[in-house]
Chain A
Amino acid sequence: GEDVEQSLFLSVREGDSSVINCTYTDSSSTYLYWYKQEPGAGLQLLTYIFSNMDMKQDQRLTVLLNKKDKHLSLRIADTQTGDSAIYFCAERRDSSASKIIFGSGTRLSIRP
């Protein structure tokens, strides 16, 4: 995950918004993904954005993409205890057939 970077931990208060950030390095990336991993489970696709988009909103989730700075963020509105998980940013590179590069994951914890 050295080419996709995320901070390891984030703690937010229940009801607040969570913003998880990610930076990537390959300008040929076509798709950028956010996956959620709950304890003892595999990764679940949350949302994704195509590289020609700036923003995508899906209920409580908002994805922002700044292609110039190679920066991706995931905002979770009204964070709930069920949002506690590890969130992985991932990029699909056009330059390398079918290769998805994952970040090291951000562990989101919710405090009351």
Chain B
Amino acid sequence: EAQVTQNPRYLITVTGKKLTVTCSQNMNHEYMSWYRQDPGLGLRQIYYSMNVEVTDKGDVPEGYKVSRKEKRNFPLILESPSPNQTSLYFCASSLNGNSPLHFGNGTRLTVT
């Protein structure tokens, strides 16, 4: 089944403890992106990647890192999480930069 898989679905952590949220797609998509969803703000783009080894900042990149060492994976790294990064995170992919996005089921992160 074609899908975007994120792990974990839920994560509670403490301020400053490094964490990684994984994202994998099995559709051979070139384009991948991370969003955060907050009430009343819709989805805001954190980082995106047009292809392997190519990543760019979105609208809210501060406090996040990403990597794209292989086509299928696009992990989101929080080196030192803070409470304002408590949010619902979505990974998405598309065939290329002009195609509709396919979304994962989300990761709900709580930073205390």
Contacts and interface: CB of A to CB of B under 8 A. Distances in A.
Contacts of B41: 1, 104
B71 to A, nearest CB: 16
Contacts of A43: 43, 90, 92, 101, 103
Interface residues of B, number: 23
B100 A48 contact: yes
A70 to B, nearest CB: 17
B102 A45 contact: yes
B86 interface: no
A88 B42 contact: yes
Contacts of B31: 98
Q: Dominant SS at the B interface? A: strand
Interface residues of A, number: 24
Contacts of A92: 98
Interface in B5-61: 31, 35, 40-45, 48, 50, 58
B106 interface: yes
Contacts of B50: 97-98
A64 B48 CA distance: 30
Contacts of A74: none
B43 A42 contact: no
A100 B98 contact: no
B49 to A, nearest CB: 10
B104 interface: yes
B4 interface: yes
Contact of B103 (A42, A48, A104): A42
Interface in B75-103: 90, 92, 97-98, 100-103
A33 B92 CA distance: 15
Lowest 3 CB-CB distances: which A-B pairs, in order?
A: A1-B42, A98-B97, A42-B103
Interface of A: 1, 4, 8, 30-31, 33, 35, 40-45, 48, 88, 92, 97-100, 102-105
